[in-house]
């Protein structure tokens, strides 16, 4: 046809969520027409509805097309956005940030970004970190306490490494897949397709979830846990395994600190210096059961002085110390005792999971090894997240599957130069991260600060006033609990710049808004696709499929431009992104030219090595683990030294009806939440093909619970918590415990194309779940918010309330 070019197919990947599905794009007349799965790509088996809606996202008429500045005061209604040039925008931002740093220190500026799991921020996250560090701020606010602590950082106290997270489930070889608070059918398609394949070849599947969601329907064991009681379940499973001898005795002796003796008088680990004046305080003590004497363990050697098979795991031993005899027990004996409190009957009473199912699941975990596991959102947003994760980590250690083929494996990575700028921030600046004082082991220790701490710093000046925010996308006010406080904190800032594809309720509080390209308009470098060895081998430079909309620039371009204007060009290759990528890629032997010539990516041969902890150096010292004892720490001295429990324990969620008996009568139900297949977090409600499938905010509840309240399926209801009420439509789900309801967070946007309204993010008529949830009481170690086990109730929405037309957002 005249004037029309033939459609072309370009290899790419969808960057809209953590799955990063390999895809082929159809381009016609300079437009992105469609995305299709690319089965030749390691994550390309399928695409979800959101990926298929990519053209709508790219071409959406609400896209931000030009830099904007506010002309009216904050806190009021209309910000009076006025179009400005990129030059003016970048100059304003650089000038304001420099003056904040000069007058109040660089720590007064917080950097934030939307999660790489819900956006294309994976393209730029490390560079945003580099910018922050080069600028000198230790404060990065990126939901670590809601999304990453459990997967990444809490497990450092057990394994010295992120498990799961960096150690990924080897689904291709697993004997048993364990998903705990994770529903990849919705959240990570590439994992879901691999799991279906694993089940197809006979792997067992265990799913722990209050809802029979996704793969739970195909599971050998679906354990319907009461929200937030997961630690009790994990301890109970461990109890059954210990009682029956269903644990990897050899692994536990060799590679965990289970044999180390704990003093019953102080509760601390017995040290060599306790038993001999010449003993080294850095050495520990175990009991040689066969020989009937104590043996010293030197972490620097990584081995006990006798064959580990001789060491006691159970019992009480009287040890002569320099201050007299002290009864001591191997750490494992204490673990066993802690678990004994959670016999399946006791655990059933707490978790709601039938005792027989706990027994049967323990057997499956043992008999179907190797076990590969993943945990995520279901466990992240609780007042007891760290204990839940510690309990699951302990259970997992007992299977002996760690870093074994078919277990959780550190797949190799293509070698590259690190670019996150870790070396650019001084220790003195790092120590200023907000929140590190209250929770010294929490995410702030790793420069990830919590929403609650940022809001407190902005509103109350504690520990100092936070005055600036550089935000790449994140919808902070809606993503954290206590949305209204979030809005107030944002409004209190001296200067706030927000870069995004769309306006959002957080950006409404900004001084300057910058338009960002969608992933389909910009180059993006992905080194390794994470889920297995083949995926890790792939390096792909996503080609721009269509030109940028309006004046939009990629996050990376913005980072580099801002860096040079801030006078930080020396750390950013003077703004030359290609030079920066060349530096990053140098050790890989893959060149930018190769990558640009090959949009499907370049594969670098990698070989997975298992059980790397056992590899020995020239002196026979095993690599071990990056923990103080060089072993997997079932007993954590680091936690003990900070006044936290050294062994995993169960704590009732602090916002549940059982702990808040004062509220339980008025709010008898338990509120949790889950992601939607159709939308990412607070996004995508404005996309017609998606919104037309899920037209209204929903809350899932059991039909009995609804009937008791005169609620029919599809009715508008009021979801009440002690902090207020929001609206949603009742969706029946008979798989739930009748006491549990499941909400959706993220509703604010209208879809004009399908004529469906938005909802005010704050105030009456809201459908924003986080408006009626709070960030406290939080997990004492991580500061994780109790978003998933809170008291609530549901009532029919009064007819007058229903007829009030929600305002368009």
Ligand X SMILES: Nc1nc2c(c(=O)[nH]1)N[C@H]1C(S)=C(S)[C@@H](COP(=O)(O)OP(=O)(O)OC[C@H]3O[C@@H](n4cnc5c(=O)[nH]c(N)nc54)[C@H](O)[C@@H]3O)O[C@H]1N2
Q: CB count, 10 Å around CB of 707? A: 12
Partner from ligand SF4, ligand X, Mo ion, none binding residue 556, C-beta < 5-8 Å depending on class: none
Among 11, 12, 16, 429, binds ligand SF4 (CB under 6 A): 16
Distance CA 736, CA 719 (A): 17
- 425, 138 Cβ separation under 8 angstroms: yes
108, 117, 385, 518: residue in contact with Mo ion (rule CB under 5 A): 117
CA angle 252, 317, 268 (to 5 degrees): 70
**Residue 147 lies near Mo ion (rule: CB under 5 A):** yes
For residues 185 and 721, which CB has a smaller minimum distance to ligand SF4 in the complex? 185
CA distance 51 to 677: 11
Start-to-end Cα distance in the chain = 42
CB of 753 to Mo ion, least distance (A): 27
Q: Is residue 43 near Mo ion by the rule CB under 5 A?
A: no
β-pairing, 716-721 vs 724-732, is antiparallel
Give the residue, chosen from 115, 351, 384, 393, that forms a contact with Mo ion under the rule CB under 5 A: 115
Please identify, using beta-carbon distances, which residue of 111 and 502 lies nearer to ligand X: 502
- The residues near 305 (Cβ < 8 Å, ≥ 6 apart) are 295, 296, 297
Q: Considering the complex, state which of residue 18 and residue 350 has its C-beta at the smaller distance from ligand X.
A: 18
SS3 letters across 480-548: CCCHHHHHHHHHHCCEEEEEECCCCCCHHHCCEEEEECCHHHCCEEEECCCCCHHHHHEEEEECCCCCC
Q: How far is the CB of 176 from ligand X (least distance, A)?
A: 17
What does the binding site for ligand X look like in residue numbers (CB under 6 A)? 17-18, 114-115, 117-121, 143, 146-147, 180-183, 186-188, 208-211, 213, 225, 227-228, 230, 376-379, 472-475, 479, 499-502, 504, 516, 555, 672-677, 680-683, 742, 745-746, 769-770, 773, 787-789
Determine if 469 is a binding residue for ligand SF4 (CB under 6 A): no
Q: Compute the distance between CA of residue 104 and CA of residue 107 in angstroms, rounded to an integer.
A: 8
Three-state SS string over 428-474 comes to: HHHCCCCCCCCCCCCHHHHCECCHHHHHHHHHHCCCCCCCEEEEECC
Span of 45-53, 72-80, 158-166, 685-693 interacting with ligand SF4 by CB under 6 A = 45-53
Q: Which does 120 bind (CB under 5 to 8 A by kind): ligand X, ligand SF4, Mo ion, none?
A: ligand X
User: Which of these segments, 12-20, 69-77, 350-358, 712-720, binds ligand SF4 (CB under 6 A)?
Assistant: 12-20
Nearer of residues 474 and 590 to Mo ion, judged by Cβ: 474
Could you say which of Mo ion, ligand SF4, ligand X, none residue 432 binds, taking C-beta under 5 to 8 angstroms by partner kind?
none
Contacts of 739 (CB under 8 A, 6+ apart): 226, 657, 668, 669, 670, 705
| Sign of the torsion formed by the C-alpha atoms of 275, 279, 284 and 287 | negative
Whose Cβ is closer to ligand X: residue 53's or residue 331's? 53
Question: Within 10 A of 799 (CB to CB), how many other CB atoms are there?
Answer: 9
Judged by CB under 6 A, the residue of 24, 41, 50, 211 near ligand SF4 is 50
**Nearest distance, CB of residue 507 and ligand X, angstroms:** 7
User: Which long-range contacts does 294-299 make (Cβ < 8 Å, 24+ apart)?
Assistant: 294/261, 294/319, 296/272, 297/259, 297/260, 297/629, 299/624, 299/628, 299/629, 299/630, 299/631
Could you say which of Mo ion, ligand SF4, ligand X, none residue 672 binds, taking C-beta under 5 to 8 angstroms by partner kind?
ligand X
If 0-12 CB within 10 Å is exposed, 13-18 middle and 19+ buried, where does residue 354 land?
A: middle
Nearer to ligand SF4, 526 or 549 (CB): 526
Does position 504 bind Mo ion by CB under 5 A?
no
**Per the structure block, which two tokens stand in for 741?**
């309801």
What H or E segment, with its residue span, contains residue 95?
helix 86-104
Shortest Å, Cβ 118 to ligand SF4: 9
- x-marked contacts with ligand SF4 along 182-211 as a string, rule CB under 6 A: -------x----------------------
Closest residue to Mo ion in the complex (CB): 147
- When asked if residue 48 is in the footprint of ligand SF4 (CB under 6 A), the reply is yes
* Site for ligand SF4 contains 215 (CB under 6 A): no
Please report how many Cα atoms fall inside a 13 Å half-sphere around the Cα of residue 580, on the Cβ side: 24
The answer to whether the CB of 654 falls within 8 A of the CB of 384 is yes
Member of 14, 93, 326, 639 binding ligand SF4 (CB under 6 A): 14
Stretch that binds Mo ion, among 97-105, 109-117, 203-211, 274-282 (CB under 5 A): 109-117
Sites of contact with Mo ion (CB under 5 A): 115, 117, 147
Interacting residues with ligand SF4 (CB under 6 A):
14, 16-17, 19-21, 47-48, 50-51, 189
């Amino acid at each position: 046809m005249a004037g029309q070019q033939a459609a072309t197919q370009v290899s790419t990947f969808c960057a809209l969520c953590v799955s990063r599905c390999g895809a082929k794009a159809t381009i016609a007349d300079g437009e992105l027409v469609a995305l299709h799965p690319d089965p030749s790509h390691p994550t390309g088996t399928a695409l979800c509805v959101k990926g298929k809606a990519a053209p709508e996202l790219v071409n959406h008429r609400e896209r931000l097309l030009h830099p904007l500045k506010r002309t009216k005061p904050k806190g009021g209604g209309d910000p009076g956005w006025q179009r400005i040039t990129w030059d003016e925008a970048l100059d304003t931002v650089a000038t304001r940030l420099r003056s904040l740093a000069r007058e109040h220190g660089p720590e007064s500026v917080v950097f934030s970004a939307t999660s790489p799991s819900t956006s294309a921020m994976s393209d730029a996250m490390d560079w945003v970190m580099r910018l922050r560090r080069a600028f000198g701020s230790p404060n990065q606010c990126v939901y670590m306490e809601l999304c990453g602590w459990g997967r990444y950082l809490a497990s450092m106290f057990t394994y010295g490494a992120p498990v799961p997270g960096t150690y990924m489930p080897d689904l291709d070889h697993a004997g048993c897949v364990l998903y705990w608070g994770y529903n990849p059918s919705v959240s990570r398609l590439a994992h879901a397709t691999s799991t279906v394949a694993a089940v197809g070849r006979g792997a067992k599947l265990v799913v722990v979830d209050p809802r029979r969601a996704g793969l739970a329907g195909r599971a050998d064991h679906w354990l319907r846990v009461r929200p937030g009681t997961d630690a009790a379940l994990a301890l109970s499973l461990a109890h059954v395994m210990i009682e029956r001898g269903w644990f990897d005795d050899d692994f536990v002796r060799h590679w965990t600190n289970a044999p180390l003796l704990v003093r019953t008088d102080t509760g601390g680990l017995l040290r060599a210096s306790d038993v001999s004046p010449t003993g080294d305080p850095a050495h520990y003590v175990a009991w040689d059961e066969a020989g009937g004497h104590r043996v010293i363990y030197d972490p620097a050697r990584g081995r006990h002085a006798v064959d580990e098979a001789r060491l006691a795991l159970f019992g009480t031993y009287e040890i002569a110390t320099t201050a007299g005899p002290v009864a001591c027990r191997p750490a494992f004996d204490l673990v066993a005792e802690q678990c004994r409190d959670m016999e399946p009957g006791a655990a059933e009473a707490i978790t709601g999971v039938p005792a027989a199912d706990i027994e049967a699941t323990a057997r499956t975990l043992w008999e179907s090894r190797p076990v590969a596991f993943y945990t995520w959102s279901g466990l992240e947003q609780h007042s007891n997240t760290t204990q839940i994760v510690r309990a699951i980590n302990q259970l997992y250690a007992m299977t002996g599957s760690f870093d074994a083929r078919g277990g959780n494996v550190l797949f190799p990575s293509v070698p590259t130069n690190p670019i996150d700028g870790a070396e650019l921030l001084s220790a003195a600046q790092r120590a200023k991260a907000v929140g590190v004082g209250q929770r010294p082991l929490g995410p702030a220790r790793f420069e990830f600060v919590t929403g609650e701490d940022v809001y407190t710093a902005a509103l109350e000046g504690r520990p100092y006033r936070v005055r600036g925010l550089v935000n790449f996308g994140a919808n902070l006010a809606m993503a954290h609990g206590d949305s209204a406080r979030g809005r107030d904190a944002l409004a209190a800032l001296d200067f706030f710049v927000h870069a995004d594809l769309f306006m959002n309720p957080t950006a409404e509080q900004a001084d300057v808004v910058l338009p960002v390209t969608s992933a389909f308009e910009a180059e993006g470098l992905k080194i390794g696709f994470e889920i297995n060895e083949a995926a890790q081998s792939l390096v792909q430079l996503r080609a721009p499929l269509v030109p940028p909309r309006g004046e939009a620039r990629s996050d990376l371009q913005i980072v580099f431009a801002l860096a040079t204007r801030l006078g930080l060009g020396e750390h950013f290759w003077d703004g030359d992104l290609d030079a920066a990528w060349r530096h990053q890629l140098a050790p890989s032997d893959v060149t930018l030219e190769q990558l640009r010539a090959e949009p499907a990516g370049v594969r670098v041969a990698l070989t997975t090595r298992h059980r790397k902890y056992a590899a020995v150096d020239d002196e026979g010292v095993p690599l071990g683990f990056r923990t103080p004892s060089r072993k997997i720490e079932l007993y954590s001295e680091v936690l003990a030294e900070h006044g936290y429990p050294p062994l995993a324990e169960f704590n009732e969620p602090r916002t549940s009806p059982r702990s808040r008996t004062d509220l339980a009568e008025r709010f008898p139900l338990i509120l949790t939440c889950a992601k939607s297949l159709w939308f990412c977090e607070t996004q995508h409600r404005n996309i017609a093909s998606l919104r037309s499938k899920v037209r209204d905010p929903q809350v899932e509840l059991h039909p009995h619970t609804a009937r008791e309240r005169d609620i029919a399926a599809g009715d508008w209801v009021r979801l009440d918590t002690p902090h207020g009420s929001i609206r949603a439509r009742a969706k029946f789900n008979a798989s739930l415990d009748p006491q549990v309801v499941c909400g959706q967070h993220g509703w604010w946007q209208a879809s004009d194309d399908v004529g469906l309204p938005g909802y005010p993010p704050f105030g009456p008529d809201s459908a924003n779940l986080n408006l009626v949830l709070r960030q406290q009481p939080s997990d004492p170690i991580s500061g994780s918010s109790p978003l998933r086990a809170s008291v609530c109730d549901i009532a029919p929405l009064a007819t007058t309330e229903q007829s009030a037309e929600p305002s368009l957002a």
